[in-house]
Structure 1
Amino acid sequence: MHAASASASSTSGVSSASHSLAPYGWDEVWEAQFAPYAAQGLLPGRVVRVDRGQCDVLTADGVVRADTTYVTPHDPLRVICTGDWAAVDPVGDPQFVRAYLPRRTAFVRSTSSTRSEGQILAANVDHAIIAVSLAVELDLGRIERFLALAWESGAQPLVVLTKADLVPDATGLSYLVEDVETAAPGVQVLPVSSTTGDGVDVLTAVVSGGTSVLLGVSGAGKSTLANALLGEDVMEVQATREVDGKGRHTTTTRNLLALPGGGVLIDTPGLRGVGLWDAEAGVGQVFSEIEELAAQCRFHDCAHESEPGCAVLAALEEGSLSDRRLESYRKLLRENRRIVAKTDARLRAEMGREWRLKSAEGRANFNAKRGGSRRYP
Structure 2
Amino acid sequence: MTIEVNPADPLTRLGWDEDWARRWATFQASSHAHGITRFGEQDPPHLLPARVVRVHRGACDVQTPLGPQRVQVPPGGLVPEPATGDWVALRLDAPDGAAPVAVLPRRTVLARASVTGRSAEHVLAANVDTVVVAIGAESRTTNGRVERFLALAWNSGAHPVVALTKSDLAPAHDLERIVERVRADAVGVEVIAVRHDDPAGVGELRDRLRGTVVLLGSSGAGKSTLANLLLGEERFAVGAVRSVDGKGRHTTVTRELVPVPGGGEPLVLLDTPGLRSLGVADLGGALDRTFADVEDIAVDCRFSDCSHTSEPGCAVLAAIDAGVFDRRRLENLRKLEREQAWFARRTDARLAADRRREWKRIATANRDRYR
Which of the five TM-score ranges fits, normalised by the shorter chain? 0.7 to 0.9
Q: Given that residues 194 and 201 in structure 2 are in contact (C-alpha distance below 8 angstroms), is that contact kept between their aligned partners in structure 1?
A: yes
Displacement of 1:32 after TM fit? 1.6
Gaps of 5+ in 2: 33-43, 353-371
Which residue in 2 is equivalent to 1:199?
Answer: 201
Cα distance change, pair 296–237 in 1 and its aligned pair in 2 (3 A) = same
How far apart, in 1, do the equivalents of 2:10 and 2:309 lie? 57
Q: Given that residues 70 and 98 in structure 1 are in contact (C-alpha distance below 8 angstroms), is that contact kept between their aligned partners in structure 2?
A: no
Displacement of 1:94 after TM fit? 3.2
Displacement of 1:31 after TM fit? 1.1
Displacement of 1:16 after TM fit? 5.8
Which residue in 2 is equivalent to 1:62?
Answer: 67
Which residue in 1 is equivalent to 2:28?
Answer: 37
| Match for residue 94 of structure 1 among 84, 92, 97 | 97
Displacement of 1:17 after TM fit? 9.1
Cα distance change, pair 266–72 in 1 and its aligned pair in 2 (3 A) = farther
Q: Deviations over 1:239-260 (max 9, x none)?
A: 2222222221111111000000
Which residue in 1 is equivalent to 2:118?
Answer: 115
Which residue in 1 is equivalent to 2:367?
Answer: none
Which residue in 2 is equivalent to 1:51?
Answer: 56
Q: Given that residues 163 and 193 in structure 2 are in contact (C-alpha distance below 8 angstroms), is that contact kept between their aligned partners in structure 1?
A: yes
Which residue in 2 is equivalent to 1:84?
Answer: 86
How far apart, in 2, do the equivalents of 1:308 and 1:280 lie? 29
How far apart, in 2, do the equivalents of 1:16 and 1:282 lie? 36
Which residue in 2 is equivalent to 1:238?
Answer: 239
The yes-or-no answer on 1:150 pairing with 2:153 is yes
Which residue in 2 is equivalent to 1:264?
Answer: 268
How far apart, in 2, do the equivalents of 1:271 and 1:94 lie? 35
How far apart, in 2, do the equivalents of 1:29 and 1:204 lie? 23
How far apart, in 2, do the equivalents of 1:213 and 1:231 lie? 17
How far apart, in 1, do the equivalents of 2:246 and 2:180 lie? 22
Q: TM-score, normalised by structure 1?
A: 0.82
Which residue in 2 is equivalent to 1:252?
Answer: 253
Cα distance change, pair 202–72 in 1 and its aligned pair in 2 (3 A) = farther
How far apart, in 2, do the equivalents of 1:188 and 1:316 lie? 23
Which residue in 2 is equivalent to 1:27?
Answer: 17
Q: TM-score, normalised by structure 2?
A: 0.83
Q: Deviations over 1:265-292 (max 9, x none)?
A: 1111111111111014111111101111
Cα distance change, pair 177–15 in 1 and its aligned pair in 2 (3 A) = closer
Displacement of 1:110 after TM fit? 0.5
Please list, as runs of the form range in 1=range in 2, the aligned pairs for 1:316-355 lying within 5 A after superposition.
Answer: 316-344=320-348
Aligned-residue sequence identity (percent) comes to 48
How far apart, in 2, do the equivalents of 1:195 and 1:116 lie? 44
How far apart, in 1, do the equivalents of 2:284 and 2:23 lie? 30
Displacement of 1:156 after TM fit? 0.6
How far apart, in 1, do the equivalents of 2:77 and 2:338 lie? 32
Cα distance change, pair 68–136 in 1 and its aligned pair in 2 (3 A) = same
Q: Where is the helix percentage greater, Structure 1 or Structure 2?
A: 1
DSSP-derived class of the 1:306 partner: coil
The yes-or-no answer on 1:214 pairing with 2:215 is yes
Q: Deviations over 1:156-212 (max 9, x none)?
A: 11111111111221x4211111000000111010111124434111122222x3010
How far apart, in 2, do the equivalents of 1:136 and 1:17 lie? 41
Q: Given that residues 71 and 99 in structure 1 are in contact (C-alpha distance below 8 angstroms), is that contact kept between their aligned partners in structure 2?
A: no
Displacement of 1:15 after TM fit? 6.3
DSSP-derived class of the 1:23 partner: helix
DSSP-derived class of the 2:339 partner: helix
Which residue in 2 is equivalent to 1:374?
Answer: none
Q: Given that residues 70 and 96 in structure 1 are in contact (C-alpha distance below 8 angstroms), is that contact kept between their aligned partners in structure 2?
A: no
Which residue in 1 is equivalent to 2:36?
Answer: none
The yes-or-no answer on 1:289 pairing with 2:290 is no
How far apart, in 2, do the equivalents of 1:136 and 1:322 lie? 20
Judge which range, 114-123 or 312-321, deviates more. Answer: 312-321
Which residue in 1 is equivalent to 2:178?
Answer: 176
Displacement of 1:91 after TM fit? 4.1
Q: Given that residues 241 and 247 in structure 1 are in contact (C-alpha distance below 8 angstroms), is that contact kept between their aligned partners in structure 2?
A: yes
Displacement of 1:127 after TM fit? 0.5
DSSP-derived class of the 1:279 partner: coil
Q: Given that residues 137 and 166 in structure 2 are in contact (C-alpha distance below 8 angstroms), is that contact kept between their aligned partners in structure 1?
A: yes
Q: Given that residues 70 and 97 in structure 1 are in contact (C-alpha distance below 8 angstroms), is that contact kept between their aligned partners in structure 2?
A: no
The count of residues paired between Structure 1 and Structure 2 equals: 329
Which residue in 1 is equivalent to 2:355?
Answer: none
Cα distance change, pair 45–31 in 1 and its aligned pair in 2 (3 A) = same
How far apart, in 2, do the equivalents of 1:305 and 1:218 lie? 35
Displacement of 1:70 after TM fit? 7.3
Judge which range, 244-253 or 315-324, deviates more. Answer: 315-324
How far apart, in 1, do the equivalents of 2:281 and 2:28 lie? 32
Which residue in 1 is equivalent to 2:307?
Answer: 303
RMSD: 2.2
Gaps of 5+ in 1: 1-11, 349-377
How far apart, in 1, do the equivalents of 2:328 and 2:135 lie? 19
DSSP-derived class of the 1:83 partner: coil
DSSP-derived class of the 1:165 partner: coil
How far apart, in 1, do the equivalents of 2:97 and 2:193 lie? 45
How far apart, in 1, do the equivalents of 2:108 and 2:333 lie? 24
Cα distance change, pair 215–51 in 1 and its aligned pair in 2 (3 A) = same
Judge which range, 121-130 or 188-197, deviates more. Answer: 188-197
Which residue in 1 is equivalent to 2:281?
Answer: 277
